[in-house]
Structure formats: C-alpha cells, structure tokens
Amino acid sequence: MTLQIRSLNQYKEVYKQSVEHPEKFWDEQAETFFWRKPYSKTLEWEFDTPSVQWFIDGKLNITENCLDRHIEDRGDQVAILWEANEPDEDSITYTYTELLAKVCQTANALKEMGIGKGDRVIFYMPMVPELAIGLLACARIGAVHSVVFAGFSAQALADRVDDAQAKAIICSDYSRRGTKMIPVKDVVDEAMNISCNSVEHVLVHKNTTQEVNWSDDVDSWWHEQVDCQEQTCPAEEMDSEDMLFILYTSGSTGKPKGVVHTCGGYMVYTCFSFRNVFQYQDGDVYWCTADIGWITGHSYIVYGPLLAGATTMMYEGVPNYPTPSRFWEICQKHKVNQFYTAPTAIRALMACGNEWIDDREMPSLKVLGSVGEPINEEAWHWYDEKVGRGKAPIVDTWWQTETGGILLTPLPGITDTKPTYASYPMPGVQPVLVNNEGELIEENNAEGLLCIKFPWPSMIRTTYGDHERCKNVYFSSFKGMYFTGDGARRDEDGRIRVIGRVDDVINVSGHRMGTAEVENAINEHPGVIESAVVGYPHDIKGQGIYAYVICQDVLDAKTMQDEICATVRKEIGPIAKPDVIQFVSGLPKTRSGKIMRRILRKIACKDEKSLGDISTLLNPDVVQEIIDTRK
Ligand code: PRX
C-alpha cells in the first residue's frame, strides 16, 4: 500500500526526502501499483516548453489499479455507496467485484459502439453511479473522458464537445436535484442541434420514468447496450503519458480550456494524496460532496479513493433537501468517517440556523475537508465546532483543476491547523512566493504570488489542442515556474494561506469562472453595447458576479436585467448568472482603451475611498456617475 504518514516527525522527514531526492521518493510511491511494464525513467521535465513526463515508458491501466488489484483482498467490500436524492429511497452499493463487472460491461458496450483508445467521450450526467462507472469504462479501453458539469447550458456543452471532437456523449434522461427535475437529455438534443458534428452516439442512462425525445439515428439506452454485455473486458495497455481525461476549466481570457491529465502520474498522486490527506483506514466510509463535473469529483470521489481501496460515497442531491439537515442525516445513516465539502455549502447551511445540526451528533467523523475557495474564519469555526464537535481536524485543501490533486493542506492529527490556512505542502510539492517581478520572496510573514517550482506527478500536461496556451497561461509569467494564478500569504511559521485569484478569474460558490467569459455571454444580448464583469464579496457564495453594462437604451431596467440573465443562462448556464447588473453610460478606460477593472472591482466592493488617482483615465467623470448609481 502507498505510504501513509502518521506523525509530525515522519511528515518532516518524508517532506525533506521528497525535495532532496524526488525521483527516489516517487519511485517508492509508484512501486505499490500494478504496472504492465515497469517504467524506465522516473521524470524528465523542463518548464519552458513545457514538457513534463513521469514514469516514462511505463505501461499500465488505471482501472486495473482501481479495481482488479483489489478483488483478492477486498472484492466484497463496498467500493461505491450511492445515496439518492429522495431520503426514503434505498441506497445502492457496488462492491469492488460488482463494480469491476459493471465497468467491464460498460466498456464492452462502448467498444461495440466503435469507441476505442484515444477517442473522446463527453459525459453530461447527474451524480449517479453510472457516471463513475462510465468514466472507468472509458479508462478501461483507453478512451478519454471529459465530464461537463450538468448545470452548463447547451451552448457551453456544444463548445466543449466541439473542442474535444468527441465521438460520443453519455447523458441521463433527467437529473433530480432537490425538488427540481432537470431535463438533461433535452439539453444534449439542443447541443446536437447547435453543432456537435463529431458525435456518432448519444448513450442515455434512464434515471427517471419521464419521457424523452428520441432520435433512432444516434440515441441508444444505456441499459439496452450495457446489461447484455460480458462481465469481463481486457484492460487496454496505456502508456504513463497517454491521456486519461480532459476537463474544461475557465481562465482569464477566451473560452474554457481543456486541461489534460495523463495516466501514470495522476494515478500515483491521487492515491498518495487521498491516503494521506484523509488518513483513510480500512473500513472507513468516505464522503466527498463535490460533483464529478469538477476536478474534486474526479480525483477524490472516483480515482483517489478507488485506487486506495476505499469505500467512497456519491450523493445525487443537494445539501438542503428535504431539509438543511440532509448532509448530517446522511453522515449519521452511513457513519461517515471523512467528510469533504466546499465552504459555500458550509456557509449556506450555517445560515439556515443551528437547529438543523445541534441534535445531530456524528461521532463517526474523524476528518473534515474543505476545498474550492478560501474558507472564512466564521465558517471554519462553525465547521469545527458544530459539525466536528471539536474532535475532527479540518483539512483546508488548496489545489486546482490543473494540479490534479491536493498540493497544500494540513495532515489531520499530524500537522497543526490554523483557520483559513491551507498550511503546508504535500510531500513532493515545492511552493514558492514571488513578487510581480518574479523574484523569490524568501522571508516569512509575507504576501506574494503562488508558484510551484518543481513538477509533481499529477500536474497538467497540456491544454487540449493548444499547447501554446498552456505555456502562456501557466509557464510564461515567471521563468521556470508553474504560476497558479493565486495570491497567497505565508505566516511567521511558514503556513500558507491562499487569498484568491489575482487574475480575471472569479470563484462563485466554488465554481470557477472567467470574467471575460461572462462578459462575452452578456454581450450576446442584442441590446448590449459593452460590459465589464468583476467579483465582489458575497456572504454565501464567497464571490458574487457584478456586471456593469452599457445598453443602447433601457426602457425598463428590470426587463432588461431579466433578459441579460436569460442570455447568460443560455450561453453558459445558471451558475454564471450575474447577481448584480448596473446599467452605466460608460466604463472607466485607460487612454489606450483598456477597461480599468481594478476601479470597477473597488466600486463593486464599496471601497471607492481607495480608488487612487483616476485623473489619467480617458473618461474620469464616469467613475463618479457609476458610484452614484451603484446598486
Ligand atoms: O483560487 C483557488 C481556489 O480555486 C481555484 C481552483 O479552482 P478549480 O480549478 O475549479 O479547482 C477547485 C477544486 C480543487 C484556485 O486557483 N481554491 C481552491 N481551493 C482553495 C482555493 N482557495 C483558497 N483555499 C482553498 N483551499
């Protein structure tokens, strides 16, 4: 089994070793996996191109490590435990033996549909076991999965399908989220009408009894294709650096980019980090509430836990259905030991009042995790006191779609915890702070830009179809370093606190969004001339979306706001809907015509006292007008 660090001294020793002899350290971690053919070299890298290769020439299949490898020792142990949207519906379990059989059946069905190694398959599904099974089925045959969060619009789905040139889409008929029934297949149909010319098959999982529109040319039912298949399927031999999946994420410019992760390094790192960050022990029940549409679900619902032979829970619904006690009921029902969620969920439940949690003792909880955005001090303490009753350490885990796994985190019961601090680097991870000129900030008690100066196995390899973009976004700001896009503070003892993005990316309820992307969507409305979007502090969401919009003429502000919101929903999805829309006659610009977002951000944050000198703007008068008409 992969190393599990159990004491502070051991952490310090292992960390030192991992920095002084990284290849030796990762060799020891990689040893515990099943390789079809051993790798010939541990690492080759340079960050200029960039080119990063781990476990070179090694051959493996990640599903043999997630599934086959466990059958002898834990074939009858529950691998996936699924909890339905409706509390009175029975939970579903798949043991490792059952899961392997289902994955093989699904893999055989995909093969029969003509899908093979290297083909891209898009998933657009709710949180049902078939989603995890589908991903593993792709990995079994070497197809590349790309999950699109099922809250994105038809247009956003079509953009991703086209970028990936996907051969198939796998979806559900409907998705159930609390009281809502969302017509998932309809969205896929709409996307297929927009474009998606590469798609030959749409495989539909039946999740409800609702009717759906059907096109015999492309549509087929999951149960009809899968259930008749053989329960064994040989695993495709993959190179360490073959693509495992693409996951689209937002940046400060342009359309979302497809972050590419590869087989070998991702396998080694997600397993290692899962075992250590959550201190998972045999018999534990682990629950991560993320959606598999995001990287957290990939690494810490599916791959990490299954690689480590854990019991991983999936929940179909939302935190507050039927009541704000639902999370705690589920923790009690399944005696959850490790619970991993996002600050926005904690804040939302905290706002519902303590009566929903006060009589919900959850003595099984050993570790509480937080991910996706900075956790504010109040939420941290509520999580600690109300959920963990002071007995379950909080791991505030910092990482990104691009990092593939958790890079900064306390280790529960091993390193100390400090509210709002993601604290210390994982073994093998070498974070640094730099100033705007790229000079290293060596001292503690300082703030700077967070970079990583040495590769780790699960790092981004490229952005799909556009390597130049990968280089420009992550490796060009500071020579020889991966730039995270985050600003951070290091305290007097070396703990790191990630403050937030320093680029034009905002984090709304833990959903990452590019302001340019939202602006482009707003500008699609025919009445809009120009817009500028910034983030502002929001009590529950962390950040809200504030849009300044110039229109031709606004007859009725409310109607126009509704129409703009509808346009954004159509272009991206409901998660990108602006919280505030302010109509303005102009936007503050530099003499070269660049929008001064810094000023707009301050106005949205009601911080106009620190605007500084605005006299050099092209149109300084507009600033006062915007302040006067602020929402
Ligand atoms: O700004 C950081 C924030 O989320 C960004 C990454 O978003 P995404 O790729 O969607 O991945 C989220 C789940 C891993 C980061 O650049 N972020 C993530 N975790 C934290 C965080 N900010 C502060 N503290 C965290 N623990």
Q: Give the residues surrounding ligand 1 with Cβ less than 6 Å away.
A: 249, 294-296, 371-374, 396-401, 422, 484-486, 498, 500-501, 507, 512
Instruction: Please tell me whether residue 174 adopts helix, strand or coil conformation.
Output: coil
In tens, the pLDDT along 361-409 reads 999 999 999 999 999 999 999 999 999 999 999 999 999 999 999 999 9
Spatial distance between the Cα atoms of 153 and 122, rounded to a whole number of angstroms: 14
Among 399, 505, 575, say which to mutate for ligand 1: greatest number of ligand atoms within 8 Å of CB: 399
- % of the chain residues with pLDDT over 70: 100
Q: Which atom of ligand 1 is nearest to the CA of 402?
A: 9
Spatial distance between the Cα atoms of 80 and 92, rounded to a whole number of angstroms: 8
Residue nearest to atom 8 of ligand 1 (CA): 400
Cα–Cα distances in angstroms (integers) from residue 27 to residues 22, 37, 208, 380, in the given order: 8, 14, 47, 36
Q: Average of pLDDT values for 49-76?
A: 98
Interval between CA 516 and ligand 1 midpoint (Å): 19
Relative to beta strand 542-551, strand 528-538 is: antiparallel
Relative to beta strand 580-583, strand 144-147 is: unpaired
Among 452, 503, 507, 517, say which to mutate for ligand 1: greatest number of ligand atoms within 8 Å of CB: 507
- For residue 585, what are its two tokens? 């006659």
Interval between CA 411 and ligand 1 midpoint (Å): 18
Q: Average of pLDDT values for 101-106?
A: 99
Q: Cis omega (within 30 of 0) on the bond before 574? A: no
Confidence of residue 613 (pLDDT cuts 50, 70, 90): confident
What is the helix (H) or strand (E) element at residue 369, kind and residue range?
strand 367-371
Interval between CA 490 and ligand 1 midpoint (Å): 17
Confidence of residue 175 (pLDDT cuts 50, 70, 90): very high
Residue nearest to atom 26 of ligand 1 (CA): 398
Cα–Cα distances in angstroms (integers) from residue 193 to residues 125, 155, 221, 567, in the given order: 19, 10, 20, 18
Confidence of residue 439 (pLDDT cuts 50, 70, 90): very high
Sign of CA dihedral 596, 452, 39, 121: negative
Among 398, 407, 409, say which to mutate for ligand 1: greatest number of ligand atoms within 8 Å of CB: 398
**pTM for this model (two decimals):** 0.97
Q: Average of pLDDT values for 595-603?
A: 94
pLDDT given at position 254: 82
In tens, the pLDDT along 300-327 reads 999 999 999 999 999 999 999 999 999 9
Residues ≥6 apart with Cβ < 8 Å to 366: 279, 284, 337, 338, 392, 412
The radius of gyration of the chain's CA atoms, rounded to the nearest angstrom, is: 24
Interval between CA 624 and ligand 1 midpoint (Å): 34
Q: Which atom of ligand 1 is nearest to the CA of 501?
A: 1
Interval between CA 204 and ligand 1 midpoint (Å): 32
Interval between CA 348 and ligand 1 midpoint (Å): 18
Q: Which atom of ligand 1 is nearest to the CA of 512?
A: 10
Interval between CA 211 and ligand 1 midpoint (Å): 38
Spatial distance between the Cα atoms of 375 and 342, rounded to a whole number of angstroms: 8
Interval between CA 442 and ligand 1 midpoint (Å): 24
Average pLDDT of every residue of the chain = 97
Interval between CA 272 and ligand 1 midpoint (Å): 20
* Cα of 249 vs its chain's centroid, Å: 8
In tens, the pLDDT along 320-357 reads 999 999 999 999 999 999 999 999 999 999 999 999 99
In tens, the pLDDT along 179-224 reads 999 999 999 999 999 999 999 999 999 999 999 999 999 999 999 9
In tens, the pLDDT along 236-268 reads 999 999 999 999 999 988 889 999 999 999 999
pLDDT given at position 187: 98
Q: Does residue 91 or residue 613 have the better pLDDT?
A: 91
Residue nearest to atom 3 of ligand 1 (CA): 373
End-to-end CA distance of the chain: 56
In tens, the pLDDT along 399-432 reads 999 999 999 999 999 999 999 999 999 999 999 9
Instruction: Please tell me whether residue 250 adopts helix, strand or coil conformation.
Output: coil
Interval between CA 548 and ligand 1 midpoint (Å): 26
Q: Average of pLDDT values for 42-71?
A: 98
Q: Which atom of ligand 1 is nearest to the CA of 401?
A: 9
- For residue 89, what are its two tokens? 């519906």
Q: Average of pLDDT values for 526-555?
A: 96
Length of the chain: 631
Confidence of residue 612 (pLDDT cuts 50, 70, 90): confident
Cα–Cα distances in angstroms (integers) from residue 270 to residues 30, 276, 277, 292, 304, in the given order: 11, 10, 10, 15, 5
Among 512, 543, 575, say which to mutate for ligand 1: greatest number of ligand atoms within 8 Å of CB: 512
- Whether residue 631 has pLDDT greater than 80: no
Q: What letter represents residue 306's amino acid? A: L
Interval between CA 134 and ligand 1 midpoint (Å): 26
